[in-house]
C-alpha cells in the first residue's frame, strides 16, 4: 500500500487571549494538517505545529515519502534528518520562541514534523485495515481517557477590534480562577484541574491554588509556572502547596534546578520543559529531577515514540502523562488513541482543546465526565471537515501571521513590553 500523494494545509485557528510566562496567545495560531493518500484512495490525516520552520521541513519530507509504503514510519526520522536543510537550519533559532516546550533542537523539530506524518499513516492504515489506531499500537488497555481542566489567566479579550471573541471572561485573580474552573468542570466534567502559572507573582498563584482547593476539595490540582521561579522561590511555593497539588510542573528551569527542588521538598515534579527529548532523559532520571514526564506526541516524534517514552519511564519508575499545546481534534484523537494503550497512565492528560472554538473534523470531541471514550472506528475515527479546513486555510493565506509569537501578541496590547528574564521571581 504505497503513498501516492501528500497534502499539506497550513491553517490559522482562533485562540483566546490566555497568558503565560512568555506573553499571551495570539488571536490566531498556525497549525499544519498533513494528509497522506494511498494508491487505493485511502486517506489519513495528522496535525502538528504550523509555523514557518515546521511547514518548510514538512514540504521537504512530503516529497520524499510519496512512493513509499504507508507502513514505513520507522524511516520518517532519518528522512527528516537527511532532507535538505535549506532555510530551516538557519531558522532554528526562531524555535526559541517555542521555549515553553523546552530547548530547541534539530531532533525536536524533525520529530515535531514527522509525528504528523506518522499519525496520518496510522490513520490511513487503520482505515485500510478496518482497525482503530490504538489496535495498531497493540490495542487499548482502557475504554476512556481522562483529561484535565486546563485553566489560564486571561484577558477578557484580545486588543484588536477584529480579533476573535470568547465567552470565558477575564481571569486575573483567585476568584476568577475558581469561576473558570467551575465552568470547566460543569461543562466537561473534568475531575482534575491544572492552572497555567508563571503569569502573576507566585504568592498570587499559590493563593489561586488554595482557592481551588477550597472550592473543589479532593480534586487533584496542578500548577505550572513554566520555569518562571528561582529554586528558592520554587521550594517556598512547593512547600506552601505540597498538601494540595498532585504535582508541581516545571517550577524552575533546568534539570539541576528541578533536582534541587525535588531534593529539598520531596514534592512530585512534572515536566514538559526539562525533559522534552530522549537525550534529556538520562541526566534527569539519574538526578531524580522529574517524577512525571508530560509527553507530547508532536515533539516526541509520534505515537510509537510516545510508547517508547512510556517504556523508558516505566523502566525507571517515572510516571508519564500528556502535555498539550494549542491543537485541534485530529491531535486530540491521536492523543486519546495512544494514551489508551499505555497501562501505567495514572494522571489525567492535559488538553487545550476546550479553548479552541474551531475544528477541522466533522464531529468535534465532547468530553463526558472529563474523559473521552476510546474510538473503535477505523483509523483515528475522525473525518476531515473540508469546508472548515478550506476556510481556515484561506485565513492563513490572506493573513501575514506565519508563526506563533506570544511576545509580539503581548506588544499589541502593551507596546514595548519585554518578557522578564528567568527566573521571573
Q: Which residues contact its own copies by CB under 8 A? A: 69, 71-75, 78, 128-129, 131, 135-141, 278-279, 281-282, 285-286, 304-305, 307-309, 311-312, 314-316, 341, 343
Residue 9 β-bridge partners:
33
- For cell 485511502, the residue is 42
In whole angstroms, the minimum distance from the beta carbon of 148 to its own copies comes to 23
Question: Which residues, listed in sequence order, are joined to residue 37 by a DSSP beta bridge?
Answer: 5, 43
Q: Which helix (H) or strand (E) holds 292?
A: strand 292-295
For residues 88 and 348, what is the distance between their CA atoms, to the nearest angstrom? 35
Q: Closest approach of Cβ 122 to its own copies, in Å?
A: 10
Q: In whole angstroms, how close is the CB of 136 to its own copies at the nearest point?
A: 7
Q: Tell the smallest beta-carbon distance from residue 100 to its own copies (Å).
A: 23
Smaller CB separation from its own copies, 136 or 223: 136
Helix (H), strand (E) at residue 126: helix 106-129
**108 among known catalytic residues:** no
| Residue among 119 and 235 whose Cβ is closer to its own copies | 119
Output the nine-digit C-alpha cell for 202: 507566585
| 270: CB partners within 8 A, 6+ apart | 222, 224, 247, 248, 249, 250, 290, 291, 292, 293, 294, 321, 347
CB 318 within 8 A of CB 345: no
Instruction: Choose between 34 and 128: whose C-beta lies nearer to its own copies.
Output: 128
Instruction: Note if the bond before 423 is cis, omega within 30 degrees.
Output: yes
Q: What is the number of residues in the chain?
A: 425
Cell of residue 412, nine digits: 499589541
> Which CB sits closer to its own copies, 132 or 227?
132
327 as an active site residue: the answer is: no
Selecting among 108, 196, 297, 424, the annotated active-site residue is 196
Closest CB to its own copies among 141 and 211? 141
**In the bound complex, what is the minimum distance in angstroms from residue 300's beta carbon to its own copies?**
11
How far are the Cα atoms of 34, 45, 73, 112, 377 from residue 126, in angstroms, in the given order? 16, 11, 14, 22, 9
Instruction: Tell me how far apart the alpha carbons of residues 179 and 168 are, in angstroms, rounded to a whole number.
Output: 10
From CA 422, how far away is CA 158, in angstroms rounded? 26
Task: Give min distance, CB of 235 to its own copies, in A.
Answer: 26
CB of 34 to its own copies, least distance (A): 17
Look up cell 523502566; give the residue. Answer: 315
Answer for the pair 114, 337: CB distance below 8 angstroms, yes or no. Answer: no
Catalytic residue among 25, 213, 323, 327: 323
Element (H, E) at 312: helix 303-315
Residue 393 gets which letter from DSSP? H
Residue with Cβ nearer its own copies (129 or 357)? 129
What residues are annotated to the active site?
196, 323
Amino acid at each position: 500500500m504505497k503513498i501516492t500523494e501528500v497534502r499539506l494545509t497550513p491553517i490559522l485557528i482562533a485562540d483566546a487571549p490566555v497568558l503565560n510566562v512568555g506573553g499571551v496567545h495570539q488571536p490566531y495560531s498556525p497549525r499544519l494538517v498533513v494528509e497522506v493518500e494511498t494508491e487505493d484512495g485511502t486517506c489519513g490525516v495528522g496535525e502538528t505545529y504550523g509555523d514557518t520552520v515546521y511547514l518548510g521541513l514538512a514540504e521537504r519530507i512530503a516529497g520524499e515519502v510519496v512512493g513509499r509504503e504507508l507502513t514505513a514510519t520507522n524511516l520518517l526520522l532519518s528522512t527528516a534528518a537527511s532532507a535538505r536543510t535549506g532555510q530551516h537550519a538557519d531558522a532554528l533559532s526562531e524555535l526559541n520562541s517555542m521555549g515553553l516546550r523546552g530547548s530547541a533542537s534539530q531532533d525536536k523539530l524533525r520529530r515535531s514534523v514527522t509525528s504528523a506524518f506518522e499519525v496520518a499513516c496510522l490513520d490511513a492504515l487503520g482505515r485500510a485495515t478496518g482497525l482503530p489506531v490504538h489496535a495498531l499500537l497493540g490495542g487499548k488497555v482502557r475504554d476512556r481517557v481522562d483529561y484535565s481542566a486546563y485553566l489560564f489567566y486571561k484577558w477578557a479579550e484580545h486588543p484588536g477590534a477584529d480579533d476573535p471573541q470568547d465567552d470565558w471572561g477575564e481571569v486575573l485573580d483567585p476568584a476568577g480562577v475558581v469561576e473558570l474552573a467551575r465552568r470547566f468542570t460543569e461543562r466537561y466534567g473534568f475531575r482534575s484541574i491544572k492552572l497555567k502559572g508563571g503569569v502573576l507573582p507566585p504568592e498570587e498563584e499559590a493563593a489561586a491554588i488554595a482557592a481551588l482547593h477550597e472550592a473543589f476539595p479532593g480534586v487533584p490540582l496542578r500548577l505550572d509556572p513554566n520555569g518562571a521561579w528561582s529554586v528558592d522561590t520554587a521550594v517556598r511555593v512547593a512547600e506552601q502547596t505540597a498538601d494540595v497539588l498532585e504535582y508541581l510542573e516545571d517550577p524552575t528551569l533546568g534539570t539541576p534546578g528541578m533536582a534541587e527542588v525535588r531534593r529539598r521538598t520531596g514534592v512530585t515534579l512534572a515536566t514538559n520543559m526539562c525533559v522534552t527529548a530522549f537525550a534529556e532523559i538520562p541526566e534527569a532520571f539519574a538526578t531524580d529531577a522529574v517524577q512525571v514526564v508530560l509527553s507530547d506526541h508532536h515533539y516526541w516524534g509520534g505515537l510509537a515514540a510516545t510508547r517508547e517514552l512510556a517504556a523508558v519511564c516505566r523502566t525507571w519508575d517515572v510516571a508519564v502523562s500528556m502535555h498539550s499545546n494549542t491543537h485541534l481534534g485530529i491531535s486530540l484523537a491521536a492523543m486519546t488513541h495512544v494514551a489508551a494503550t499505555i497501562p501505567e497512565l495514572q494522571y489525567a492528560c492535559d488538553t487545550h482543546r476546550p479553548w479552541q472554538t474551531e475544528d477541522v473534523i466533522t464531529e468535534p470531541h465532547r468530553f463526558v465526565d472529563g474523559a473521552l471514550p476510546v474510538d473503535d472506528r477505523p483509523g483515528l475515527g475522525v473525518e476531515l471537515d473540508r469546508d472548515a479546513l478550506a476556510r481556515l486555510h484561506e485565513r492563513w493565506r490572506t493573513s501575514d501571521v506565519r508563526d506563533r509569537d506570544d511576545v509580539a501578541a503581548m506588544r499589541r496590547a502593551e507596546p514595548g513590553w519585554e518578557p522578564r528574564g528567568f527566573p521571573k521571581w
